[in-house]
Each structure stands twice: as C-alpha cells, then as structure tokens.
Structure 1
Amino acid sequence: MGTVVEYTPDQTMTKMKDFTNAALQAVTSEMVTETASKLVKMVEFADDVIQPETLELLKVLPDVSKSLEHALLEVKKLEENGTLNTLFQMVSMIQSMKSALTGPMVSDMMEKAVKGVEIADEMLQKGSLDLVAGMVTAFQEAKNERQEKEPMSLFQLIRSLSAKETREGMSLLLTFVQKLPKQIL
C-alpha cells in the first residue's frame, strides 16, 4: 500500500500550478480547435433538444413506446410468415398495372362504369328492386309450400293449369322468353 503524503497549502498550490502548466503545454492548437468545434456542436444539439416540440415529443415518448413496440412485433410477425413480402409484391404489381394504364384504357373503363350506373338507374326507375323482391318472396313462399311434398303428378300439373294465377304466371313467363332474344341479340 501507498503512503499518504500531506502537503502544505503552499506546496499544494505549487503542485497545481505545475500540473496546469504541464497540461497547457501539452495542448496543441488543433486540439483547441477540435474541442471548440465539439463544444459548438453540443450547444447546437442542446438547442435542438430544448425546442418545445422536442420536449413535447419526449413527454409523449413513454406512452407511445408501448404502442410502437406492439406495432413492431406485429410487423415482425408479418415478416416472419411472409405476409409482408406478399404485400410488397402486391404493391409492386399494382404500381406496374398503374403505370401500364393508358388514357384510352381509363376512358374505356370509365365509359363502361357510366353505362353500368345508367343501367342500374334505369332498372331502379322501372321498379326492378320491387320486382326482384317480389320474385324472391314468391320463390320463398313456393319453396316453403312444396317442402316435404311429393312432386306433382302429370294430372295434378294439368289440373293446375286451370287456375287463373297459374295461367297468368305462365303467360308472363312465355311472353318474357319471346321478348328476350330481341333485347339481347
């Protein structure tokens, strides 16, 4: 073990002066310039950190860190099971498709979309929704009525033709079948 040497105040002051002189002689101008540059950078960084928006961000950071940690874990799962790679491939494909679209292609698609909207509007104006709803209701009622029954015999079918409702329905259906080719061909 070392021995402890006690100095008088004058001796301590002399030792301090000698140490300070030795340190000052060892310092080069490059060291002073570099130290000053680092000091300026530290002050600029401290000034950036002291900005109100940075301080607000630092206050919110603990609350956000849990959410961020959860999000990163989810992204890691997506990456591990290949979903993230698939998403990137889909984005790449969509970008390729988007860049391949030409003006005439977009115009053609818009024209078809407008025609579709016009047809839908015409169908609505002609009461197609009510007609379709009625057809669905009639079908459901017929299905419920025929449930767990044997099919009609030929005689029963012929006899059902004598009912006015049956003849009206069949007449409507036959007229529809006759008119259909003129409209679609």
Structure 2
Amino acid sequence: MATETPQEQKTEQHKLVGFTNAAMSAVTGEMVSTIAETGVKMVEMADDILQPETLSLLKALPEVAENLERTLMEVKRMEETGVLKSLMQLSDMAAAMKGAMTGPMVTDMAEKAIKGVELADSFVQLGAIDLVDGMLTAFHNAQEETKDKEPLSSMQLMKAVTQKETREGMTLMISFLQNLPKQLNK
C-alpha cells in the first residue's frame, strides 16, 4: 500500500466503508442477539476450561491416554459381546432387590447367616473336616478294593464279620443309627 497514490487509497477506503455499511445494513437485531449469546457462551466455556481442576485434568490426560484407550477398547469389546448389557441387567436386578428389601428381611437373612457360621464352627470344632476326609478316603479305598471283583459269598461275609475291623465298623454304624433319632428329635 505504500506505493499507492492518495487517490487509490481514497478509492480503497471508499470501498471498505461501502462494504462495512452494507454489512451493517444486513445485520438484524436477532443476528446481533445470537452473536452476543454465542460470545457469552464462549466466554463461559473458556472460564470452565480455565478452572484449576480442568487444567489439571488436561495436564494429566497425556499420561493416562494409553490406559484410557485400553479401557475404552475393553468396554467396547464388552458391549459387542453382550457382557456389558448383562452386567447392566444384573446391576438393575441387584438395585431392584435392594429396594425391595425390608428391615425384617435383612434381619432374617443376617440371623440365618449367623446360624450358618455357628453351624460351620460347630462342624470344625467336632472335627468334621478330618472325619469327612477319613470317610471319603475309606470310601475311595473300598471302591478300589472292590473294583472288578465279584460280591462276597455267604461264607466270605460270615468270615468278614469275624474280623476285628469289620466288627468295629459295624459297631460304629449301629451306634450311629441308635443315636440318630435322639439327635433329630431335639
């Protein structure tokens, strides 16, 4: 523009003034209002972004971007396979169950849980773990001993009854059967 003549500069200024006047004539009050609203929204958004919490999140984003991407890919995979939908349905069901529970229901469930723990403790105190382990081992050994064998004959049964181990086992079983009704009728 330094090489333009004063006449050319006036012509350019006249064109610029004409353009500005035409633009100002075309602008309506509604347009000005919309521009002002947009400007206010932009200032508010900039204010939100410039908050310390938002700035710290933006600064941390590069550090967690890879983990975030992996997490999003996993969520997408869960959604594609239907797992996410199932989890949502399960959580809805759990929320409905929680909402439907009353105080007495919770109390009753807690009492039953406590009784279950007490029963399990009684079993442990009575040596049930060792007893069950021994019973399972004895049953397994008996299965192995009788596998592919013919049942005992009458004479073999009579001979087995005379053996001390057989009599001990039978005595235990008879004592158990005699004590069972007493315990069940308590």
TM-score tier, shorter chain, comes to 0.7 to 0.9
Q: Gaps (5+ residues) in structure 1?
A: 1-6
Q: Percentage identity across aligned positions?
A: 43
Structure 1 counterpart SS, 2:148? coil
Q: Which deviations, in whole Å up to 9, do the C-alpha atoms of 1:101-160 show, x marking residues without a partner?
A: 333333333222222222221121121111111111111112212222111111001101
Matching residue of 1:3: none
Q: TM-score, normalised by structure 2?
A: 0.75
Partner of 1:68: 72
| TM-score under structure 1 length normalisation | 0.75
Map of 2:47 onto structure 1: 47
State the partner residue of 2:85: 84
Aligned AA (1:47) = D
> SS where residue 121 of structure 1 aligns?
helix
Equivalent residues in 2 for 1:1-185 (5 A)? 8-28=8-28, 30-50=30-50, 51-56=54-59, 59=62, 63=66, 64-65=68-69, 67-78=71-82, 84=85, 88=89, 91=91, 93-185=93-185
2:77 and 2:44 map into 1 onto residues whose CA distance is 35
Q: Structure 2 CA distance, aligned partners of 1:114 and 1:39?
A: 65
Question: Tell me, which stretches of 5 or more residues in structure 2 are unaligned?
Answer: 1-6
Larger deviation, residues 115-124 vs 54-63: 54-63
Alpha carbons of 1:54 and 1:129: their partners in 2 closer, same or farther (altered >3 Å)? closer
What is the root-mean-square deviation in Å for CA atoms of aligned residues? 3.0
Aligned length: 175
For the Cα contact (< 8 Å) 1:49–1:55, is it kept in 2? no
